Chain A
Amino acid sequence: MTRIALRSLRKEYNGQVAVPNLDLDISNGEFFTLLGPSGCGKTTLLRMIAGFNSIEAGTISFDDIVINDRSPAARNIGMVFQSYALFPQMTAAKNVAFGLQTRNVDKAETTRRVTAALESVHMAHLKDRLPGEMSGGQQQRVALARALVIRPAMLLMDEPLSNLDAKLRVEMRDTIREAQREAGITTVYVTHDQEEAMAVSDRIAVMNLGVVQQVGSPAQIYRNPANRFVAEFIGKTNLIERELHHRNGATMLDLGDGVSVDVTSTIPSTITGRVQVSVRPEAVSAASEGLSAEVVAETFLGSHSQIRAQLSTGETVEFLEFSRRAALWERGEKVSLQLKTDMLTYFDAESGVSIMHGAQR
């Protein structure tokens, strides 16, 4: 099991900076996810850890040993690729055995470990199939077994589920999580799907433009996003802009329609002026009083509806309601919205950085 430490890491492609300067620590046995939109540098970073990309500056260490100059073959990694990358001419069993053969493991031991690895991903019955004869999900299971069977120091996974359909994705991510827990192996996982990241990760690093925006547990980054980018990228949110007021030593935020929130304990008193408020859909509910709004549209989704409403300031707020009403709201219908104030987060209107007490990077 291995700790991974990245220090002042820099990556350039033909003079274009992809990752300017990055520090990150991944603990022993941790399921760590690099999450971000495409082009944010997450795959680049993973491939630097694997050794397939060069490092322009900084260091990568495994258990305090700098491995910058070690070839990928010598890093003892298990890698799972987006395209599965199974060897097309080899059966499932031979694919899994390949890494053991390069390590000169004897025959009996190889057979035993290959069988065990295929069983752990529920693929033992298809061990003689060629990759071309397997579905995407089956191929990815074999790829996972192939990566784990060599007992690598860490498991590196590059968008392993993005080529699968929605149902298989959910099934596979449970398999991956299970196999990882069983092996207790340090895992670095790359994805652009925030829901997938939340489901599997111990900790997530949200990345944008080669810079880590926030590192934390799924709940931390969802509940207390470090900036506007993270708030918008992780889950859905409504952003509204309001003014802070300091009255008699208390910091107040007027939401409008006579509703105001006491944020003295949340926002340091040194901060003044306009702020952005992030309102998660689950913090909004229709009530008998509150902010007055006008329904723009209600989309019926079965167990619940998605409602888009316009505040008197012109700002749009989206939220969900369980389908308990007999008829859907019409466009233009007047509603009152209540906000659950302890679920609100606040950002500087200019920079988008969190202004809350204890805000972390």
Chain B
Amino acid sequence: MKASGGRYDGWTSVALALTGGYLLLVIWPLIMVLINSFAGGGEFSLAGFEKFFSSRLYYGTLINSVLVTVCVTVLALVVAFPLAYFMTMFRIQGNRTVQMLILASMMSPPFIGAYSWILLLGNNGMITKLIESVIGVKPPSIYGFAGIVLVLTLQLVPLIFTYLMGAWRTIDVALLEAAESMGITGWRRAVQVISPLLWPTVLAGSLLVFVRAFADFGTPMLIGQGFRTVPVLIYSSFVGEVSVDKSFAAAVSVIVIAVTLGVFLVQKYLVSRQNFSMTALRPIEPSRLPGWRGVAVHLYIYGFLTLALAPLIVVVVSSFRNTLYGQFVDGYSFENYLDSHRDILRYVGNTFGIGITALVILVIVAVLVAYLTVRRKGMLSGTLDTMTMVPYVVPGLVIGIALVTAFSQAPLILTGTFTIMVIALTIRRLPYSVRSTTALMYQLNPSIEEAAISLGASKFRTLVRIIVPALAPGILSGAILSWVTIITELSTTLFLYNTSTQTLSLGIYAEVIRGQLGTAAALSTMLLALTMLSLILLMRLPGGQRELRV
């Protein structure tokens, strides 16, 4: 096993160092959470779990969360399936723009959506006031269950949509023609022939939607009010609106991880039972749909687009409205930007400083882990690969709690530092980066590496001079995507920041909670602009569009 693992060399050291770092920064903090969940006052107890299941106030949040998540997952699928079907089968006006805007709405931070719907349909919302002044009756409240489901569904439809579009590209026209030759067309064909082919993709996409909806903290925090979900319970019991109970927060975290892990394993089992692969020699060509059906299809697509983009437009417009004590009043100006320009500069500075540092570390670690998993198959790299996937099933809030728990006492006091922010953001994004880099690495012919070595290059030189440059386009577009998720991340860093490490997304959250709606809108606009610029850059890269999944 000389060249393929086993022998101790530089790569073994790299694998050991990465494993060590991962054990210290991810596994150990999570174990601390686990220990805390079973330790009430220094000894083993199930008090945290007992407390959770003894009062409806607590276990009710789990029911709420499951209810929200199931609704969102089903709704997202129901909305996204026709969307992807129409976009694939029929010629749609402005097809490319529509796809890009849908992606843009996916990449925008979810809590901005929540905040924006409050601006529209909240107690003092624009539409609320409009309806009230026209018919004199206050419309039903956006707060609570309905608001959360609305915001999260609009946010996550694009996710399943991109998954489905990807899968659709692998379906060969011949399959559809074969169905047609047997007299099965239209909706019957979509249900009987296409759906089973898309089933693994639907499962994978649904899992992602489920995990995201279940773990989302910003949306229910801002728009949920009395309707509390599990992440909100974790947050409030950890920071203690009423009372601080860290072992209780830990216990709830463990329950959340258990649920996510369970769903993850069920999905893996279902996918493994249905394993087939397809490549389309001739992908589906969209055809023109005439008459009222064409109009209906366009209405559906543009209707969704309007709903998805409305919050973003509202935020941008609101950022220019005048405010008084944080509330919007008549008139437009730049005062929201000018009045708090010091804070804004600080937030932007932190976003770039922390974000870029995290991104650089993330890319390096992802390349190393991917290389080890693909080229140096062995127990060590297998363990490493599995470990990097851990944060995939752990909600961001819990990662935050774990890091606070582990690094707020001697010898390692990191809470509130630049370092802990970087660590948190890196860990959060690592599963996605490692997976996309691993996929890239698998595409690179192993002979290329052997060629470099046969020409006398060392393994390190081969990695730096040959492998990384050969994969550079893919790594770069992956990095931009990571960048977007890093700058919009909220829940992971919520327990870890202080004023000197506050980023744009944390700033938005703080300003909304403080009732400074004008400043929040200005910050949101800047974050959105940053996100859009990054996405436009990504689109311009060769092959960048393919990266727009996850």
Q: A interface vs B, CB < 8 Å? A: 50-55, 71-74, 76-79, 81-89, 98-99, 102-103, 143, 146-147, 150, 156
When chains A and B are docked, how far (Å) is the Cα of A79 from the Cα of B1?
20
Q: Is the CB of A89 within 8 A of B3?
A: no
* Minimum Cβ distance to chain B for residue A203 (Å): 23
Residues of B in contact with A, size category: 20 to 34
The 4 closest A-B pairs by CB, nearest first: A99-B455, A85-B447, A79-B454, A85-B451
Name the residue of chain B whose CB is nearest to the CB of A80: B451
Q: Which residues of A contact B447 (CB under 8 A)?
A: 81-85
- Whether B409 is near chain A, meaning CB under 8 Å from some CB there, is no
Are A87 and B452 in contact, CB atoms less than 8 angstroms apart? Answer: yes
* Interface segment, one of B243-251, B382-390, B392-400, B456-464: B456-464
Of the residues A55, A73, A85, contact of B458 by C-beta under 8 Å: A73
Per-residue A-contact encoding for B446-480, CB less than 8 Å = 1, 0 else: 01101111111110010001100110100000000
- Take A51-B3, A54-B1, A72-B3 as given contacts and tell me if A85 and B448 are in contact as well, using a CB distance cutoff of 8 Å: yes
Q: Does B445 touch A at the CB level, under 8 Å?
A: yes
**Nearest chain B CB to A90's CB is how many angstroms away?**
8
Q: Which chain A residue shows the least CB distance to B455?
A: A99
Which B residues touch A52, using CB under 8 A? 3, 450, 453
CB atoms of A83 and B452 under 8 A apart: no
- Of all chain A residues, the one with the shortest Cβ separation from B444 is A88
* B binding-site residues for A, Cβ under 8 Å: 1-3, 445, 447-448, 450-458, 461, 465-466, 469-470, 472
Find out whether the CB atom of A146 lies under 8 angstroms from the CB atom of B469.
no
| Listed residue (B454, B456, B457, B469) with the most chain A CB atoms within 10 angstroms of its CB | B454
Mostly helix, strand, loop or mixed at chain B's interface? helix
28 contacts between A and B (CB under 8 A): A52-B450, A53-B2, A54-B3, A71-B453, A72-B450, A72-B453, A72-B454, A73-B453, A76-B456, A77-B454, A79-B450, A82-B447, A83-B447, A85-B445, A85-B448, A85-B450, A85-B451, A87-B448, A87-B451, A89-B472, A98-B452, A98-B465, A99-B455, A102-B455, A102-B457, A103-B456, A147-B455, A150-B456
Summed over the interface, the residue pairs from A and B with CB atoms below 8 Å come to a total of: 77
Q: Is the CB of B461 within 8 A of A102?
A: yes
Please tell me which one of the listed residues B1, B445, B457, B472 contacts residue A83 in the complex, with CB atoms under 8 A apart. Answer: B445
> B4: shortest Cβ distance to chain A, in Å?
8
CB of B367 to closest CB in A, whole Å: 15
Docked Cα-Cα span, A86 to B447, in Å, equals 9
| Distance, CA A53 to CA B2, complexed state (A) | 7
CB distance from A12 to the nearest CB of B (A): 10
Nearest-Cβ distance from residue B103 to partner chain A, whole angstroms: 28
Residue of A whose beta carbon sits closest to that of B1: A54
Bound-state Cα–Cα, A84 to B451, Å: 9
Q: How far is the CB of A146 from chain B (nearest CB, A)?
A: 7
Give bound CA distance, A335 to B456, whole Å: 63
Q: Across the interface, which residues of B come within 8 angstroms of A76, CB to CB?
A: 456
B126 to chain A, nearest CB (A): 52
Q: In the assembled complex, how far is the CB of residue B458 from the closest CB belonging to chain A, in whole angstroms? A: 6
Taken together as a complex, chains A and B put the C-alpha atoms of A156 and B451 apart, in Å, by 11
Bound-complex Cα distance A253 to B43 (A): 96
Minimum distance in angstroms from A268 CB to a CB of chain B: 46
Given the known inter-chain contacts A52-B3, A81-B447, A87-B451, please indicate yes or no for A99 contacting B470, CB distance below 8 A: no
